[in-house]
Structure 1
Amino acid sequence: MMRPLFYGLLGLLSLPAWAETQSMPLNMTQGVTGVSQQVYSLHMTIFYICVAIGIVVFGVMFWAIIHHRKSRGAVAASFHESTRVELLWTLIPFVILIVMAIPATKTLLAMEDTSQSDITIQITGSQWKWHYRYFGEDVEFYSNLATSQAQINNERQKRDNYLLEVDHPLVVPVGQKIRFLMTSQDVIHSWWVPAFAVKKDANPGFINEAWTKIDKPGIYRGQCAELCGKDHGFMPIVVIAKPQADFEEWLQVTKTAQREAKAEELRLLDMQMPMDELMAMGETVYNTRCAVCHQVNGQGLPGAFPALAGTGISVDPAKKLEHISIVVHGRNGTAMQAFGPQLSLKELASVITYERNAWGNNTGDMVQAAEVQAILKGEQL
């Protein structure tokens, strides 16, 4: 009985490598990086060890139950202790743990080695979006959920990448070692992309490091893996890995676009946008950035987010500058974020104008880019 069981275990532990790489929908993803392959191999090794232990334990148990049952006249042995048994059940688990610890330690050391990186990207989590900054490249942007509120509310058909699509994905090159510096500006988030075997907490006031080196181009998706608030499920991650030449082209195009956007903002300071243009853009910005808390109708959520319709600073003519300041700088101790770093001057002016004139507020106030710029620079409070 024991000899066939022993040979069966040897066969299980010596399964060919292709058996591990077959498609298993419920198994861990193999990923597209060297580290992710190491993690997958470690996972499968530990899995097979656990399977072997289970077969041995349950095999011995059922063998003992069958061959030492009462109907066969078996009589229970009477003993108190056995030095040999004590040594066996101490040494065998110790050896198993050592066998598991060696590859696990190698993998963990590889995951933490962020030295000699080619690119460094700072990742900052905030409720509920990601901010990416490329060190030494003067490129930075926010990445927001691109799934529309209509899809979330079942008013429109959901797309294939429902809740896993963003407006500005992170773009990286393949074949380069990429170092990530992760932090947060409010609560704890966690940047997780399974295909890279990267999952690292973003803690406010601290910087954590991780790295990856992607083997093949593609689009890879992940999510915030920390319960970071009411919209935790609406904080996806999308990474596009491009060949080096395509990445360099994207980087130059993005740099040019961001420089032109800054120049356009400076030109706006001398312009007066008409009410209809402010309201049209303001509604779009409000529905994508503000409605999730203050609701599309401006009624807010009692006890959590204040109403903007017919009450508060949004209808008080004397508090126009305070209204601008709160939208630009946020409000400490609340869920109100600082939108100054996230939106353009035009978008900020438009959304504040919209809030002061939508839902019957009708203050007639128009906010221009120059007023927002003054608040950003601290010239008016």
Structure 2
Amino acid sequence: MGLAGRHALAVFLLLASPALLAQSRYNLQPPATGIAAQIYDMHTLMLLICLFIFVIVFGVMFWAVVHHRKSKGAIAAHFHENTAVEIAWTVIPVLILLGMAWPATKTVLEMKDTRDPDITIKATGYQWKWGYDYLQGEGQGIRFVSNLSTSREQIDGKTAKGEHYLVEVDNPVVVPVGKKIRVLTTAADVIHAWWLPAFGVKQDAIPGFIRDAWFRADKEGIYRGNCAELCGKDHGFMPIEVHVVSQEAYGKWVAEQQAAMAAAASAGAREWTLAELVEHGAKVYAANCVACHQADGKGLPPAFPPLDGSKVVLGEVAGQIAVVLNGRPGTPMAAFGALLSEADIAAVITYTRNSWSNKTDEAVQPAQIAAAKGK
């Protein structure tokens, strides 16, 4: 084999080796589920088929150009309607397409088979965060909001970017290894998409509709994805982070979450001081409100009005509570009544009424939020 032939073989083997492909920064993420492995293999197969067709077609074309050029005295042939050629160039592409469609159809059907899950999680898209509810299986009843945890200083270029810049969250999804996880997707405002490449999952989250997908992670680890639908100004700031852990570690996480929810419930039953509310409210505001209303409370008018000096914030407490609980239809203002605890909502309202130039000295208690909810 000549030097050119050896080089061609090396390139082919490089493309054909999934292990080497997995290490490439220009390829799909290494698969962590059976479905993702099938997608990965199909991607490699389709690429090789396209490469083979490219080499054959352009090889014949360039051979014809070189060997039938005018300088060699070639005289163009004159012929029309070759039945054998027409049959060949119809049948061969059909066979190629059928060969590509068969494994693709099998994989798509398997992707849609969400029956008999071990755990069911609802993922709700908001501008710009994800809310998760564990609806079935171990951990049922757990719910939390997952926000981008990359600091504003990194985003604004004031500090060096971290290793997981824009793909890290404060509350990741946690699931046990080897279990079938069904994910129900929906949205509260606009269309989002729950996309986790390593799991082979990409499902739109559409307001008013429930879509579903599933995965079964084969190995423990941390896997990251993003919202894959252009959903507004902070579309790039709503990542997805899933931790796949052992069954034992998952049991501990479930216990911790249940304890935290119980603590949040008890926090909603006590009286808070103004200082406590403002301190806690600052954290809630940073996690849920700062993207739209900004750290200085000036907002980004007209889409995101300022809270500093706002008539709503400085007006009757009941009016602001209603806005935070129920949102504003037709605007990006989400309803936080189902997202945050009574204590969190009371704290963030108190924070906005006592920050920047707002100095009401009013403390909104969790009991007032519970009363507004009708509890």
- TM-score under structure 2 normalisation? 0.91
Change (3 A) 1:303 1:14: closer
After TM superposition, give the deviation of residue 252 of structure 1 in Å: 2.4
5+ long unaligned stretches in structure 2: none
SS in 1 for 2:30: coil
Residues 251-284 of structure 1 deviation map (CA, whole Å, 9 limit, x = unaligned): 1232232123213322x2xx2x332222222233
Match of residue 330 from structure 1: 327
Match of residue 301 from structure 1: 300
2:17 to 10, 16, 19: 19
SS in 1 for 2:150: coil
The whole-number CA distance in structure 2 between the counterparts of 1:288 and 1:133 is: 18
Match of residue 86 from structure 2: 86
Matched, 1:181 2:184: yes
Amino-acid identity (%)? 48
- Range with bigger deviation, 361-370 or 321-330: 361-370
After TM superposition, give the deviation of residue 326 of structure 1 in Å: 0.5
Q: Which amino acid aligns with 2:129?
A: K
Change (3 A) 1:105 1:218: same
Match of residue 284 from structure 1: 283
1:170 to 170, 173, 181: 173
Match of residue 352 from structure 1: 349
1:1-381 alignment runs, 5 A limit:
15=13, 19-22=17-20, 23-136=23-136, 137-266=140-269, 268=270, 271=271, 273-316=272-315, 319-377=316-374
Change (3 A) 1:15 1:359: closer
Moved over 6 A (4+): 10-14
After TM superposition, give the deviation of residue 104 of structure 1 in Å: 1.2
The whole-number CA distance in structure 2 between the counterparts of 1:74 and 1:144 is: 69
Q: Which amino acid aligns with 1:220?
A: Y
Q: Does the CA contact (< 8 Å) of 1:114 and 1:210 recur in 2?
A: yes
Q: Does the CA contact (< 8 Å) of 1:330 and 1:337 recur in 2?
A: yes
Residues 169-204 of structure 1 deviation map (CA, whole Å, 9 limit, x = unaligned): 100011111111111111111111111111111111
The whole-number CA distance in structure 2 between the counterparts of 1:135 and 1:371 is: 28
The whole-number CA distance in structure 1 between the counterparts of 2:290 and 2:29 is: 36
After TM superposition, give the deviation of residue 325 of structure 1 in Å: 1.0
Q: Which amino acid aligns with 1:376?
A: K
The size of the alignment, in residue pairs, is: 366
Q: Does the CA contact (< 8 Å) of 1:12 and 1:52 recur in 2?
A: no
The whole-number CA distance in structure 2 between the counterparts of 1:12 and 1:359 is: 65
SS in 1 for 2:323: helix
Change (3 A) 1:167 1:14: closer
SS in 1 for 2:186: strand
- Range with bigger deviation, 281-290 or 323-332: 281-290
Change (3 A) 1:241 1:226: same
The whole-number CA distance in structure 2 between the counterparts of 1:355 and 1:15 is: 61
Q: Does the CA contact (< 8 Å) of 1:31 and 1:196 recur in 2?
A: yes
Q: Does the CA contact (< 8 Å) of 1:13 and 1:49 recur in 2?
A: no
Change (3 A) 1:208 1:368: same
Q: Does the CA contact (< 8 Å) of 1:223 and 1:237 recur in 2?
A: yes
SS in 2 for 1:21: helix
The whole-number CA distance in structure 2 between the counterparts of 1:181 and 1:321 is: 34
Residues 74-100 of structure 1 deviation map (CA, whole Å, 9 limit, x = unaligned): 111122322122111111111111111
After TM superposition, give the deviation of residue 17 of structure 1 in Å: 9.7
Residues 305-362 of structure 1 deviation map (CA, whole Å, 9 limit, x = unaligned): 112222322223xx22101110122111111111222222222222212222222222
- Range with bigger deviation, 249-258 or 194-203: 249-258
The whole-number CA distance in structure 1 between the counterparts of 2:341 and 2:310 is: 26
The whole-number CA distance in structure 2 between the counterparts of 1:50 and 1:12 is: 17
After TM superposition, give the deviation of residue 212 of structure 1 in Å: 0.7
After TM superposition, give the deviation of residue 292 of structure 1 in Å: 1.6
Change (3 A) 1:208 1:104: same
Change (3 A) 1:115 1:78: same
The root-mean-square deviation of aligned C-alpha atoms, in Å, is 2.3
Q: Does the CA contact (< 8 Å) of 1:13 and 1:48 recur in 2?
A: no
The whole-number CA distance in structure 2 between the counterparts of 1:234 and 1:44 is: 31
- TM-score under structure 1 normalisation? 0.90
Q: Does the CA contact (< 8 Å) of 2:16 and 2:48 recur in 1?
A: no
5+ long unaligned stretches in structure 1: none
SS in 2 for 1:51: helix
Change (3 A) 1:159 1:62: same
